[in-house]
A and B are shown apart, each in its own frame.
Chain A
């Protein structure tokens, strides 16, 4: 255990120097790409917002089943099978047919190449489940169908969320999927997430529909309230234009009325439809509906063929800007709910950094003094290893550009406290060996050898705890497990290479001295 080859000494020295440089790149700027790395500060240290959004897929499922009603009716009409009594209840679609058609319908749904009920070829499971009883059928989404629906609405929602956040222009947002119906948003440096929260909370489903008095409208009609709650109107369910037809939307100031408005321009299909609707509907009111509420319902005075128009609705400049942003970025496939929010202001973050660093400094000094008093020369060796341990630990975190959190700093401090354990085990063992062994070299050698299993066992148990924390924990706690876990490896490296090397150098020079440790 006491022999070090020249090559190994060089290797150890190089590794130590490398990590010291990497660690110090947090303080100085290096031109070299490899060296110019920095530890990322977690949201709890630099300030920022963590939002966990959950997609409410229930309306999507209901809408899809609603659409399916038409599809099923038409599909079987072509096959001369009559289906009646469509009813939607609790995400189940019910309908009835006659005895003769029963089997044909079931066959259509259960066929592996079914066109009305796809997915079998790909997933070995249909999109829809069907149950028949007394000629009445119950259709609902299968497990696989739900998974696909959720994944696809998550993909769409992620895209829209990203666009909305990019539009606001926060720096380096982190937008990730969680499970199949959640989206995690991390916004560093943002101390007031109010605006983002309100923007993400809106589905932004925009439609242009005629106001009608005709409750017998063939498309159906519904009563909607105005955004400001002032009045309500009956609006046709027939959609003239939707948000999908928008190319652009911008807040503007109307110079005549001195009112803030939102200007929009339409794609070709949209422009054509808008032109047609405004030419046939002169004198009618066109309601602009956002998420089930009427923003405004102006009277059409002229045909608008230019494919652009404006929305007015008593906006402030801020609300017009936000509406334009929502329209530009598109509608969410389903409503989002914020189910977890954690926001830390930048000054609290800075306070936490200061407190963490102070605790680290004081803890470090206390441990170093204690070890120095306890072990004298070997205390110096342990302390050199401890200082290098800290550098290497920070260096490794920097190299991988890991995220440092406040519990992460606690993990570093704890590592400092526990890192001396291995050296203590070794030195105490050597002391014991020296009671029966007069030869320093032999005593030191067997001290190292005999303490090895205990050191290994002790570190593996801590590592196990750190690994579990890493996989089960979230955010700040992950940061703790990361520093604790990496700390175990850097500790073993500094104990077995650096401290041992220094010990060997010292002992071989003082072979004959009594009471060495």
Chain B
């Protein structure tokens, strides 16, 4: 048996610091919102001329009065991602096409064009925030119906930890937040909950089984009993996610990366956050028995 409970305090301090650092990052550095949430235009280009490079493209486009243009390679050498702030000009794509054809010859394939107006991006951001809030709330309700409130609190604290730290990593690394990241965060919420619930289920079962073991020891027993399952499921999920990350194409990179972080944090938090909340709230056999009487 591994003595997870020996490190409860140390990891709690670590988690609290991680959350604080993440919150500071989110407040001061902020998130790198993509055009879904900020509005603007995105163009994915493929050129058939190897002489064209990022800086020549950037020089060319910067003469077009598009505002702040970002040009970078996307996936491989000949693919480029161009982004700029929302532009009132309705024919901007047409003009870019003409301009590029004039300067570089007809060597471009416009593989993807996305244009999100300011009104739509504001709505998307709002519905994303609502979706995550509703998800957290429903999880809270579900776990509250299924378990005692101490468990519910533990699970929610773990969830907030996972979501905040994952977003903190995105802020730190400056990774783009788009619609698929919202999907990833919601899936992380589901996954983290899933992991926590399995351990909690065992904690509750053990509370009924052993009448004389304190919660500090009991959580450790439960973690150990479910440990191989926790690891196997995390590993298979990570195998699937790594496969998406490496082979699923550029579009899914951000999504799978967010999920990979989420699964790692989710697994960690089920062990070191959810359980320690139970310990700190001094959950005992009485907590469960009272519920049984009702």
Contacts and interface: CB of A to CB of B under 8 A. Distances in A.
Interface of A: 44, 52, 54, 192, 194, 197, 201, 337-345, 347-348, 351-352, 355-356, 358-360, 362-363, 366-367, 370-371, 374, 406-407, 409-410, 413-414, 416-418, 420-421, 424-425, 428, 432, 450, 453-454, 457-466, 468-469, 472-474, 476-477, 480-481, 484
Interface stretch (B19-27, B250-258, B274-282): B250-258
27 contacts: A194-B93, A194-B94, A341-B116, A342-B113, A345-B110, A351-B249, A355-B249, A356-B252, A363-B239, A363-B242, A366-B240, A366-B242, A371-B236, A407-B252, A410-B248, A410-B256, A413-B248, A420-B232, A421-B194, A421-B233, A425-B229, A450-B205, A464-B138, A468-B131, A469-B187, A476-B180, A480-B180
Contacts of A345: 109-112
Contact of B120 (A340, A356, A413, A428): A340
Contact of B112 (A348, A416, A469): A348
A417 B249 contact: no
Given A338-B117, A343-B112, 10 more contacts: A341-B113, A348-B111, A352-B249, A355-B252, A410-B255, A420-B233, A421-B237, A450-B205, A464-B138, A484-B187
Given A366-B243, A477-B180, A454 B201 contact: yes
Interface in B91-138: 93-94, 109-117, 119-120, 124, 127-128, 130-131, 134-135, 138
B6 interface: no
Contacts of B239: 363, 366-367, 370, 417
A363 B186 contact: no
Contacts of B198: 425, 454, 457-458
Contact of B243 (A347, A359, A457): A359
B288 interface: no
Contact of A358 (B190, B195, B247): B247
Nearest to A426: B229
Contacts of A407: 180, 183, 252, 255
Top-8 shortest CB links A-B: A417-B240, A465-B190, A363-B243, A355-B249, A472-B131, A339-B117, A359-B248, A461-B193
A278 B83 CA distance: 54
Nearest to A417: B240
B259 interface: yes
Nearest to A477: B183
Contacts, number: 210
A465 B262 CA distance: 14
Contacts of B113: 341-343
A358 B183 CA distance: 22
A52 B135 contact: no
B197 interface: yes
A515 to B, nearest CB: 16
A461 B139 contact: yes
Contact of A201 (B90, B146, B179, B225): B90
B270 to A, nearest CB: 11
A213 B232 CA distance: 86
Contact of B90 (A338, A340, A474): A338
A201 B90 CA distance: 9
A371 B259 CA distance: 21
Contacts of B175: none
- Majority-rule SS of A interface residues: helix
A424 B59 CA distance: 56
A426 to B, nearest CB: 9
B142 A363 contact: no
B259 A347 contact: no
A320 B180 CA distance: 43
A44 B251 CA distance: 10
- Majority-rule SS of B interface residues: helix
A473 B229 contact: no
B202 interface: yes
Given A407-B252, A420-B232, A481-B183, A461 B190 contact: yes
Given A345-B111, A465-B186, A420 B236 contact: yes
A472 B236 contact: no
A435 to B, nearest CB: 11
Nearest to A340: B120
A454 B202 contact: yes
A355 B194 CA distance: 29
A406 B250 CA distance: 11
Nearest to A365: B243
Most B CB within 10 A of own CB, among A342, A417, A457, A484: A417
B138 to A, nearest CB: 5
A480 B183 contact: yes
B248 A355 contact: yes
B182 A477 contact: yes
A468 B186 CA distance: 8
B8 interface: no
A113 to B, nearest CB: 40
A469 B198 CA distance: 23
Contacts of A340: 115-117, 120
Interface string B169-211: 0000000000110110011011101110110011001000000
A95 B235 CA distance: 75
Given A340-B117, A417-B240, A461 B183 contact: no
B236 A414 contact: no
A466 B190 contact: yes
A194 B187 CA distance: 36
A427 B180 CA distance: 34
Contacts of B248: 355-356, 358-359, 406, 409-410, 413
A461 B128 CA distance: 19
A352 B75 CA distance: 13
A463 B119 CA distance: 31
Contacts of A413: 240-241, 243-244, 248
Nearest to A50: B114
Contacts of A352: 249, 251
B228 interface: yes
B201 A453 contact: yes
Interface string B4-36: 000000000000000000000000000000000
Contacts of A366: 239-240, 242-243
A292 to B, nearest CB: 16
A363 B244 CA distance: 7
Nearest to B117: A339
Contacts of B201: 453-454, 457
Nearest to B127: A472
B47 to A, nearest CB: 14
A299 to B, nearest CB: 34
A359 B250 CA distance: 12
A408 to B, nearest CB: 11
Contact of B197 (A337, A454, A474): A454
B87 interface: no
Contact of A341 (B115, B182, B247): B115
A461 B127 contact: no
A360 B191 CA distance: 20
Nearest to A416: B240
A480 B112 CA distance: 20
A196 B115 CA distance: 15
B283 interface: no
